[in-house]
A and B are shown apart, each in its own frame.
Chain A
Amino acid sequence: MFRCRRIVSALALLAAGSLGATASQAQDFSQGFNTFGMPGVIDTPNAAALPDGELMFTGFAMRDTWRTTLTFQALPRLTVALRYSSIDDLAWRAMRGTGLRDRSFDLQFQLLDEGRYTPALAVGLRDFLGTGSYSSEYVVASKTFTPQLRGSLGMGWGRLATHGAFSNPLGVLHSGFKTRPGGFTGLGGRVEVGRFFRGDSALFASVEYQATPELTLMAEYSSDAYPGEGLGLRRKTPLNLGFRYRLSDSATLAGYVIQGRNVGLAANFALNPRVASVRGTQLNAPPPVLVRPPAPGPEARSTDWTGQRAQWHEALTESWSTAFAENGMILKDLTLEDRRAIIRLSNVRHEVLARAIGRAARISTYGLPASVEEIVVIPVIDGVTASAIVFNRSALEAHEFSQDGAQQILAATRFEDALNFPGTGRYWQPLPPERSRFIWSVGPYLDTSYFDPNSPLRADLGLRLDLQYNLSENLSANLEMRQRVIGNIGGGTIGPASPGYPRVRTTGSLYSSSTPVVERATVDYLFRPAQDFYGRLSLGMLERMYAGASAELLWSRVDSPLALGVEVNALRQRAPNSLFGTNNLRVNSWHVSGYYSFGDGFHAQLDLGRYMAGDMGGTLTLEREFANGIRVGAYATLTDMPFDVFGEGSFDKGIHVTIPIATLLGTPTTARQTTTINSITRDGGARVNIANRLYPSIRDSREHALRRSWEAALQ
């Protein structure tokens, strides 16, 4: 107790010393992170929240220990993190001779914002899902005393009560709080609710002092004694010291002296999808809207030109094709009616669809007969013709340069099903005559695999050949071949089987090869059986491990946040060492799916059905999407396969991050990079990978998606 008092008074002295500092710079503790990559100081947390939407990567290394953490501010008050770490666990080392490699999940919820006199208050769970090496819970309060000084005081349980522990005050409520169950349930990977806030508790405290806008100095009294780790044995003091140095808006370095003898270093990279990028977006200027001479009303404009409709059509198609290409689009076809023009196009450059259709509408004002009042733009995405965006030409003319121009144009715009307009076929959509039927490309590919228990990062680099032959817009033959040049994905050992179930995924490592492989060879047919309905049939080598037939039907109304789908697959497992051969494993799977967009970019998807190993169950996916296309999501699959049969991790779960390349480069391109980090691949809850599922194709053209990024329509 004496020792604790001495440290508290040292912290108080440090605090008092800095109170005299002048308050010149606005406070900016927003990029604070601790060695666990969560809002905090060194080893301890604080009650701060990151800016909403912030994505953060933190790497931390110290003698015999390292942690890499991906952190996401999922909601203004909710911070979540996934961590992969190497822990110098003595018991593990005695058994296996190496440190323990472990994954862990954290979440922190800010209960109260900081007020003028009241502190911010947060509650957090550290490592609540993994095997529990870092398992701890905490409540923490933080207060900014001057713009440069922030102090935090908290109470921790579990690992955060391994120094200076006292009997749990929650024991007053129920005696069960006084003891903390050890170990973990079954094979790990489950939420250990029975352990939360139980056992002894301890206090921790910290101060952060922002010495310059770049440099923050930190000191903390930590209740984490590194129990069971080699570091714990060498511990000299519970006092940790450190600094953070901001290199740029996105990069921060930090250094620490932990426990009075170990030096630690950390690097942090942050990306906020909601803040303008440093580089901005390099775009060619679009042509301004060409304004028609005024007329008393739309009906007053002459339709005399219709006598020469064919000539108009030919002239416009020719002149627009070049303009569309310059603006990153392909003009597919044009239908001219007396007072309406219907333009079908595909977007090949813009990471947001709203920009492509807005540009198409503006370009079309060059040359369109004056009597045409409605400009209907129909984007074709991956062969699917879904939405029609109906612009009012007068609104485009009137509001292009207004302060709220995009919103005023939006108010005069309608969203409909493309089937309502001539030129959209239900079962057959002919190709524009001048378009080449055969499309090919050769390029590099990069495949990554994260957090493999034996190797945290695996990657393959190689060459990829894509061939596509189009019989029509909606019927195509596709081939993707790959040749690895260098890399270390796969080649590992085959995972343990789930007794009583076929090995549908655990033999995955056999499929990596240093000879050419057929990644995909399919015939794909996309159709529109009725208004608001979409269909897909795929046949062939659907993915690296499976061949077969896949059929899908989707209902989605352009203005509805809800979509419903059903998918049926009859599959045969491909032979690992053959280009087109299959082995004897036959599996069937089906799913019924519901998709819902909550607005503001929050999406949910629920799939119920039969997975490949024959297990029945469901997958819930939650995703946050920003208007620029950055997506961060998490999923969990629960099936009737028992947890102990599933194996390590108990059930399948994971996160994914999709970043449009355009937001990184500042150059418009439709390319996207999706990274999925899932738990160890097992046979339970496995689905076949289909390259062109319907909902992902049409989602960007739904009214809710276009409205969110509508400002880009005038960009």
Chain B
Amino acid sequence: MTKIFCRLLAVLAISGLAACSNAPESNPLRDALEGGVSGLTGGARPTPAQVPESGFLAVAPQLIASAQAEPAVGLFMQERNTQALLSLSGARATHVTWLSGDRISFTLSGGTMLVRTSGLGHDLTHADFTQTLMLIASGRAGQTERTHTYLTRDFQQDRQRFTCDVRPLGPTQVQLGRASRQALAYEEACKGEMASFTNRYWLDTSSGQIVQAVQWVHPQVGKAHLQLLNQ
């Protein structure tokens, strides 16, 4: 009986043993433990937020204050109950990539139109919103096609199509950190096989940029609230 007990103790000890080694990343157990604990840690975990009437959740003022004067993007993800301040990772003519403190990135176009996410687990590898952007730019209502691309577990493209109704919601004031801007709000209601969702955009009429947006990413991710800060 004692022998069995000793063996059980040994088994417990071994299973709990995160193997040690001097080889880089030779241990899947450690990889799993480290990699599995991933969430946005760019800011303090907030209490569940109420979505305000405008439909937009801004990041906490103290987080915005920490951005100093650097250009940044404020991120709020309600379904994941997390917020972060994203800093500039790379920019090119049409696409700007923003990165959180724990390496989750959002590639945005035309201000805050979401093109790609990376590091969320269920990432959007590409969003085609050309038609939506054209309607917003022209200030009209209308129907558009939107295409989201995801990767399957087998690394094949999973292309999801949505039919969307875009309509202007009228002029409104938006608060971007310390700055306040005059904007036109738009709503994009989409239906597709994968899901139905509603995105919102705020177009800064003076700069022509979408300075603030709420966009749906994936059923397992939910929506991302994004806003340009210090720009």
| A contacts, CB < 8 Å to B | 53, 272-291, 325, 328, 330, 348-349, 352, 354, 397, 400-403, 405, 436, 438-444, 461-463, 466, 468, 485-486, 626-628, 661, 663, 665-671, 708-712, 714-715
Contacts and interface: CB of A to CB of B under 8 A. Distances in A.
Interface of B: 7-8, 10-11, 14-15, 17, 19-29, 31-32, 35-36, 38, 89-90, 92, 94-95, 97, 99, 102-105, 107, 115-116, 118-123, 125-126, 128, 147, 149-158, 220
B126 A330 contact: no
Contacts of A275: 152-154
B156 A274 contact: yes
A627 B152 CA distance: 10
Contacts of B29: 443-444
Contacts of A665: 32, 35-36
Contact of A405 (B31, B120, B126): B126
B151 A273 contact: no
Contact of B7 (A468, A486, A627, A714): A486
Contacts of A671: 28, 31
B35 A667 contact: yes
Contact of B118 (A283, A436, A663): A283
A246 to B, nearest CB: 18
Contacts of B15: 444, 461
25 contacts: A273-B153, A274-B154, A279-B121, A280-B220, A282-B35, A284-B102, A287-B89, A348-B25, A349-B31, A401-B116, A436-B22, A441-B20, A441-B21, A441-B23, A442-B19, A462-B14, A485-B7, A668-B31, A669-B25, A669-B28, A671-B31, A711-B157, A712-B155, A715-B125, A715-B151
A628 B26 contact: no
A281 B102 CA distance: 15
A389 B10 CA distance: 47
Contact of A401 (B115, B121, B220): B115
A275 B155 CA distance: 9
A442 B28 CA distance: 13
B23 A282 contact: no
Contact of A661 (B32, B95, B128, B156): B32
B22 A274 contact: no
B26 A282 contact: no
A438 B115 CA distance: 45
Contact of B25 (A281, A284, A328): A328
B35 A711 contact: no
Contact of B90 (A288, A402, A628, A710): A288
Nearest to A464: B19
Given A282-B35, A441-B22, 17 more contacts: A276-B151, A276-B153, A279-B121, A280-B120, A283-B118, A285-B103, A288-B90, A348-B25, A349-B25, A405-B126, A440-B22, A441-B23, A443-B20, A444-B29, A627-B154, A667-B35, A668-B35
User: Which one of B8, B11, B25, B157 has the greatest number of beta carbons of chain A within 10 Å?
Assistant: B25
User: Which one of B104, B118, B154 has the greatest number of beta carbons of chain A within 10 Å?
Assistant: B154
Contact of B24 (A330, A352, A666, A714): A330
Contacts of A401: 94-95, 107, 115-116, 126
B121 A442 contact: no
Contacts of B11: 461, 485-486
A628 B152 CA distance: 9
Nearest to A660: B28
A55 to B, nearest CB: 12
B22 A712 contact: no
A667 B36 contact: yes
A454 to B, nearest CB: 22
Given A282-B36, A290-B90, A403-B128, A443 B153 contact: no
Nearest to B118: A285
Contacts of A283: 118-119
B21 A440 contact: yes
B89 A277 contact: no
A667 to B, nearest CB: 4
B99 A285 contact: yes
Given A278-B220, A285-B105, A665-B32, A441 B126 contact: no
A709 B8 CA distance: 43
A627 B19 contact: no
Contacts of B151: 276, 711-712, 715
Contacts of B123: 280, 715
A436 B22 CA distance: 9
A628 B36 contact: no
A276 B122 contact: yes
Contacts of A400: 95
B9 to A, nearest CB: 10
Nearest to B38: A282
Contacts of B20: 441-443
A669 B35 CA distance: 9
Nearest to B23: A439
6 A-B pairs with the lowest CB-CB distances in the bound complex, closest first:
A443-B19, A441-B21, A280-B121, A671-B28, A285-B105, A288-B90
Contacts of B94: 401
B220 to A, nearest CB: 6
A468 B7 CA distance: 30
Contacts of B149: 403
A330 to B, nearest CB: 6
Contacts of B147: 403
A661 B28 contact: yes
